[in-house]
Amino acid sequence: MAEKQKHFHSGHRQRMKQEFLARGIEGWPDHRVLELLLFYTIPQGDVNELAHELIEQFGSLSGVLDASVEELCKVKGVGEHTAVFLRMLPAVLGRYQASRTRLNDVINSPEDAYPWLEPYFFGARNEMVYVLCLDGKRQVLGVRKVAEGSIEMAEMNARRIAEEAMGLRAARVYVAHNHVSNLAIPSQDDWLTTDALRAILAPISIYLEDHLVFVDGDMVAMSESHKLRGLQFV
């Protein structure tokens, strides 16, 4: 009986893999995608029930992948190996998306900057600040992480951005940060940071192209926001 059950589960796994290779995961429910992932950390047995339990516990596939290792390990059947694997996936996907961009791309607008910066915020649970550095011809020189946790210390973060930009000999920069509140509306701290940044960059001939706010794959450019309080991005 045990041998028959083992053979059944093995056949089920193979069928799911073949279906993925033939048609991808379009239309699959979250628990089925998760079940396929679990095949690679739990090599034997039925993981369908565990996939369902994880989705129920965390609400969605994204909720599972955003959960901490400690939270995942509290679910019966999830060991450290599986928890680390699941937690690693958003970071790997972010790196994959970032690696598809190329240095020397020309950035003429916030829309051009989006594919360069969005991967760095994929799955982020903390507020982070990045700077996209360009040369005088608007070609990409690189992206640098400036801060994580809070951007309330506007002047300090502005100086860090200036240091990173100078290190790459940038002539222009896009600054970007995310809101973990899921509201892509520039806050008062965002305006203070922008004010401080423009004041620090101007004397060293580095031009602030824009300040971008990211939320769950969406982006708001402060240059296009009605809350700019009279700041001019020209």
Among the residue ranges 24-38, 127-141, 143-157, the one predicted with the least confidence is: 143-157
Q: How confident is the model over 74-81, as a mean pLDDT? A: 95
Confidence of residue 33 (pLDDT cuts 50, 70, 90): very high
Indicate if 86 and 194 belong to the same structural domain.
Answer: no
Closest C-alpha among 170, 114, 177, 119 to residue 142: 170
* Statement to judge: residues 171 and 208 lie in one domain: yes
The answer to whether residues 220 and 119 belong to one domain is yes
> Among residues of the chain, what percentage have pLDDT more than 70?
85
pTM > 0.85: yes or no: no
Structure-model confidence comparison of residues 122 and 209, the more confident one = 209
> Would you say residue 188 has pLDDT above 90?
no
Domain boundary among 62, 80, 97: 97
Give the span between the Cα atoms of 36 and 20, in whole angstroms: 9
Higher pLDDT, 71 or 147: 71
Determine, yes or no, domain membership for 80. Answer: yes
Q: Which domain holds residue 22?
A: 2-97
State the pLDDT at residue 179.
85
- Pair 70, 108 in one domain: no
Q: Are residues 77 and 135 in the same domain?
A: no
For 84-122, the pLDDT digits (tens) are 999 999 888 877 776 666 666 899 999 999 989 988 887
- Residue 178 has a CB neighbour count (10 Å cut-off) of 26
**DSSP helix, strand, coil percent of the chain (3-state; round to 5):** 50, 15, 35
Instruction: Indicate whether 232 belongs to any domain.
Output: no
- Domains held by the chain: number: 2
CATH of residue 80: 1.10.150
Name the residue with tokens 């039925």: 46
In a domain, 230, yes or no: no
Segment holding 70, helix H or strand E: helix 69-73
**108 and 72 fall within a common domain:** no
Which strands form 172-178's sheet, in the order they lie side by side?
140-148, 128-134, 172-178, 207-215, 218-221
66, 97, 128: which is the final residue of a domain? 97
Partnered with residue 212 across adjacent β-strands are 176, 221
Tell me, yes or no, whether 233 lies in a domain. no
Q: Are residues 90 and 108 in the same domain?
A: no
pLDDT of amino acid 81: 95
Using the 3D structure, point to which of 50, 73, 97 is the last residue of a domain. Answer: 97
CATH number at residue 187: 3.40.140.10
Residue 124 lies in a domain: yes
Query: Average per-residue pLDDT in the chain?
Result: 84
Give domain status of residue 218, yes or no.
yes
Assess if residue 44 is contained within a domain.
yes
pLDDT band at 156 (very low <50, low <70, confident <90, very high): low
Residues 123 and 187 occupy one common structural domain: yes
- pLDDT band for 232, please (50, 70, 90 cuts): very low
